[in-house]
Structure 1
């Protein structure tokens, strides 16, 4: 389903096309080559002092890692994410041999965004989720203390929203995308003074 961003100027294709569907096609796979491309994109994200704090747990539908990640998701997310071709958990490493990593969460966010935009370029969709049990991830995957599970990511192929089954969820999937106007997020001169008026 096409939900192109309604932007005031043209955007790069993957940015304009990116959104977070829940309707995923459980008959189509995500290949290891596609996952390699997503993770390479994440690997090349900017980070403070090239500290590269992002780490990822990766499972493909049907394998043990996928099932373990799925089991850490909230019931609400499990209800649709089981159809994903791959599930990941993005983790930030907060310390290295030099000590505390500055802006580790920001670095992980940049890596995750690169991953999601690469998914779009690969003809895939990705949905990032806060609804998962980080403590369960830590336990199931022996995540060390200096690493913090921060977000789960479902990757797959978009499907007809009807697969969601619940009318409210189908309507939500079909609703247009929206964002705050540019004038409400970009200021000039002083706080609240719009840099752009339309």
Structure 2
């Protein structure tokens, strides 16, 4: 299912095409070869002082670790997350080797995830990043070492039929896409007064 953004200015087609579906095909599966370009795209994201604080833990549907990662998602996300071919969590390093706080860690990890999302879209895959998960459970399940923090859950797979979704999610899936107008977040000059 396509839901291209209605933009007010020309943007790259892959950006306009990217969105976060919940309907994943529960039969189709991805391979390591399918994931390689996504992680390669993330690899080349900009990074402050080239610290590259991002890490990803992932599993394929059908693997025991996949079910463990699904259990880290909040209850409302589990039905659609279970149908993803791959479930991943983006994790950010919090300090450098010298102990300096990497205050930009989530920013850099977010850019890496953005590159991954655009590559996945260009490759015809569906990706849904989500914040509804229990961070402590991800840390325990994935044996995340101290000095790293989970940032985002990521469902990856092939687009599916919206009819497989519960009514609430189906309505969201079929509904329009909305964003703030540029004037509401890009200010030429000082912050506008209320």
TM-score, normalised with respect to structure 2: 0.94
- How far apart, CA to CA, are the structure 2 residues paired with 1:111 and 1:65? 23
- Please give the alpha-carbon distance, in whole angstroms, between the structure 1 residues aligned to 2:182 and 2:123: 29
CA–CA distance in 2 between the matches of 1:102 and 1:131? Answer: 23
SS at match of 2:25: coil
Paired position in structure 2 for 1:73: 73
Separation in 1, partners of 2:142, 2:57: 8
Q: CA deviation at 1:168?
A: 2.3
Partners of 1:192 and 1:159 in 2: CA distance: 43
- The separation in 1 between residues aligned to 2:111 and 2:17, in whole angstroms, is 18
Structure 1: 5+ residue runs without aligned partners?
194-198
For structure 2, the 5+ residue unaligned runs are none
Superposed CA offset, 1:1-33 (max 9, x none): 111011112211221101100011011111211
| Partner Cα distance (2:96, 2:110) in 1 | 18
| Corresponding residue of 2:164 | 163
Give, in angstroms, the shift of residue 55 of structure 1. Answer: 0.2
Residue 196 of structure 1: aligned partner: none
- The answer as to 2:44 corresponding to 1:41 is no
Cα RMSD (Å): 1.3
Which residue does 1:106 correspond to in 2? Answer: 107
C-alpha deviation, 1:189, in angstroms: 3.2
Tell me what 1:191 maps to: 191
Report the counterpart of residue 14 of structure 1 in structure 2.
Answer: 14
Deviation at 1:156, TM superposition (A): 0.7
How many corresponding residue pairs?
Answer: 192
Cα contact 1:48–1:102 (8 A) shared by 2: no
What are the superposed Cα offsets for residues 140-160 of structure 1, whole Å, 9 maximum, x if unpaired?
Answer: 221111010111100011112
> Which 4+ stretches in 1 moved above 4 angstroms?
none
Counterpart CA distance in 1 for 2:189 and 2:99 is 38
Q: Does 1:181 align with 2:181?
A: yes
Q: Cα deviations across residues 119-148 of structure 1 (Å, max 9, x unaligned)?
A: 101100111111111111111221111010
TM-score (normalised: structure 1): 0.92
